[in-house]
Amino acid sequence: MSVVKHSSDRILTTHAGRLEASSMTEVISKQADAGIDIISDGELGKIGFGFPYYGRRLAGLATRKINPGETAWMGGNTGERAEFAEFYKALNFERLLPPERTICNGAISYIGEQEVANDLAVFKKALAEAGARAEETFMCVLAPGWLEHFFHNEHYPNDEQYLFALADAMKHEYEAIVGAGFILQLDDPALPDTYDMIVPTPTIAEYRKFAEVRIDALNHALEGLPEDRVRYHICWGSWHGPHTHDLPLKHLVDLMLKVKAGAYSVEAANPRHEHEWKVWKDVKLPDGKILIPGVVSHASNVVEHPELVADRIALYASLVGRENVIAGTDCGLGLRVHPQIAWAKLKALSEGAALASRQLWGH
């Protein structure tokens, strides 16, 4: 039974979930070969946030044509896209958007029991075949507030009822993963990321009220689950763009820490956010909790030097305590950098953690 472990005698390593490989056995073996302690199923076979995947897990979803002025999901219309319109036109961002919009047009309920059972069985079988010994194993699932990005509500009278319906449904999947002995990672880029998707831009106070409802819905879904079996991941989106409109961490760190989780995974190596280690000078990590700062980034093909990784780890250890730090990645590396680069980054991560461990424990 996996629980979120502290770095009791060395800095443990992990990543944000998504990787690429030809099979799950291979993705597990490669994580072990790279020296990663806390491994996932690589989210293999789980690519996509739309109807083809979630239509098998949630009742109440459908698709329809996109109306004039709409985008397929919330991320298609942002302040950053307006400011850097020439860049996004050259990037041909629209090619990434689906041709239809997934909508909620009925009561949401969970119908994915067999789907999640298959996911769990495949992961367990691959772990046995790979023979890899991991400190912990985890699986990623989207938080209700992130699901909301991809399924436009056309059924419930308000956001709160819709979000709590999503929470009630997804709770089944969360419980299944924890019940199977894995760590549950809740992926929620929505916490910081939605800020720039609301047009016109809200005030910080307005946005915090908006975000609090999403945190409440997530905690509702986590009710009854042990916090030491849950970790919570936020980032500012995985696209390779300027990120000039990202909401600073200082405006939402207290909301993040309200989530009923044992560990918090935060983007920290991206050059738009690396300076935000300073937040932890003033914010106390709650007793017993773990911080998983990203110390290698998904946003660059440059492979971080292990000494730089060690420096980043040591900095966070000085702020929250060495035993409360697990070294991670900013976001999933799969589909964000070439697989060969991704595995090299994970190797640099584990080598940097070993260097930091020698500095911090003297061995």
Helix boundaries (H) for 92-223: 113-130, 144-147, 159-179, 190-193, 204-222
| Tally of domains within the chain | 1
Confidence band, pLDDT 50/70/90 cuts, at residue 51: confident
- Here the CATH number for the domain that contains residue 338 is 3.20.20.210
Question: Pairing relation of β-strands 183-187 and 136-142?
Answer: parallel
User: In this predicted model, what pLDDT tens digit does every residue of 288-342 receive, in sequence order?
Assistant: 999 999 999 999 999 999 999 999 999 999 999 999 999 999 999 999 999 999 9
**Residue 160: predicted pLDDT:** 98
Angstrom distance (rounded) from CA 32 to CA 136: 12
Is residue 317 within 8 Å of residue 281, measured between CB atoms?
Answer: no
Angstrom distance (rounded) from CA 124 to CA 101: 34
Q: Does a structural domain hold residue 62? A: no
Phi/psi at 184 (5° precision): -95, 120
Q: Does a structural domain hold residue 237? A: yes
Q: Does a structural domain hold residue 158? A: yes
Helix (H) or strand (E) holding 136: strand 136-142
**Residue 1: predicted pLDDT:** 62
Q: Does a structural domain hold residue 310? A: yes
Is residue 155 within 8 Å of residue 178, measured between CB atoms?
Answer: no
User: In this predicted model, what pLDDT tens digit does every residue of 215-243 receive, in sequence order?
Assistant: 999 999 999 999 999 999 999 988 899 99
Q: Is the pLDDT of residue 2 over 90?
A: no
Helix (H) or strand (E) holding 265: strand 263-266
**Residue 58: predicted pLDDT:** 98
**Residue 337: predicted pLDDT:** 96
Q: Does a structural domain hold residue 19? A: yes
Q: Does a structural domain hold residue 5? A: no
Q: Does a structural domain hold residue 95? A: no
Q: Is the pLDDT of residue 267 over 90?
A: yes
User: In this predicted model, what pLDDT tens digit does every residue of 130-157 receive, in sequence order?
Assistant: 998 899 999 999 999 999 999 999 999 9
Q: Is the pLDDT of residue 41 over 80?
A: yes
User: In this predicted model, what pLDDT tens digit does every residue of 239-260 receive, in sequence order?
Assistant: 899 999 999 999 999 999 999 9
Q: Does a structural domain hold residue 3? A: no
**Residue 75: predicted pLDDT:** 81
Poorest-pLDDT segment among 46-50, 243-247, 267-271: 46-50
Q: Of the candidates 343, 191, 330, 323, which has an alpha carbon nearest to the alpha carbon of residue 265? A: 330
Q: Percent of the chain having pLDDT more than 70?
A: 99
Distance of CA 71 to the CA centre of its chain: 23
Domain of residue 281: give its range.
12-49+111-361
**Residue 330: predicted pLDDT:** 98
**Residue 304: predicted pLDDT:** 98
User: In this predicted model, what pLDDT tens digit does every residue of 61-114 receive, in sequence order?
Assistant: 999 999 988 888 888 889 999 999 999 999 886 776 778 999 999 999 999 999
